[in-house]
Amino acid sequence: MLHRLGAHTREVRVAGDLDGLDGLVIPGGESTTMTLGIEREGLAEPLRMLAGAGSGDGIPILGSCAGLIMLDRDHLALMDIRAERNAFGRQTKSFEADVEVSGVPGPPIRGIFIRAPWIAEHGPQVEIIAEVEGHPVAARQGRMLVVSFHAELGADGRLHQMFLESVKQEAPAQGPPAGGTPS
């Protein structure tokens, strides 16, 4: 999705891969595997520094599905949220739904929910921007945006475009980023 929207991307696997990023996407996947990889590579503290933990001066971050879980209080503790894993049910309960996301103009975004979490708790600095069946499924806090669904699997790029606009606003004025935009 980011490539289609013209962004330059690269994968982040080790701390050195974080150098020069203007934005970061923590994608869907398996949060336990992500946690193990972050621990193995010593990425937790570099990620916290990149996000500006405590200062609010970090780069824009988009967390999708497992990315939402990774940003919560129990994992990287970057957002004041607690995610409920597999909240809508196991794999066989995966579904699609139209999601009205505050701040995204136009019709609802088609959300693809695969073993999706929801936001079970959140602090006062967190803005809930979408719900499904009365459960928060998208939120913002500072420069971080999380969604419990996989917008990247659909054809609608508006959510990712919104993220890229925040990256552009935060990017240094000296010109194009070295090595690309979000990863």
Kindly name the residue from 75, 122, 150, 160 that is annotated as catalytic: 150
Is residue 152 flagged as an active site residue? Answer: yes
Q: What is the DSSP string of the chain?
A: -TTTTT-------SGGGGTT-SBEEE-SS-HHHHHHHHHHHT-HHHHHHHTTTTTS----EEEETHHHHHHSTTTT--SSEEEETTTT-SGGG-EEEEE--TT--SSPEEEEESS--EEEEE-TTPEEEEEETTEEEEEEETTEEEESS-GGGSS--HHHHHHHHHHHHHS-TTSSPTT-SB-
- Identified catalytic residue from 75, 122, 152, 160: 152
100 is catalytic: no
Given the residues 65, 75, 122, 160, the one annotated as active site: 65
Annotated catalytic residue 65: yes
Tokens of 159: 């959510």
In single-letter form, the type of residue at position 137 comes to: V
Report residue 139: phi and psi, to 5°: -155, 160
Catalytic residue annotation: 65, 150, 152
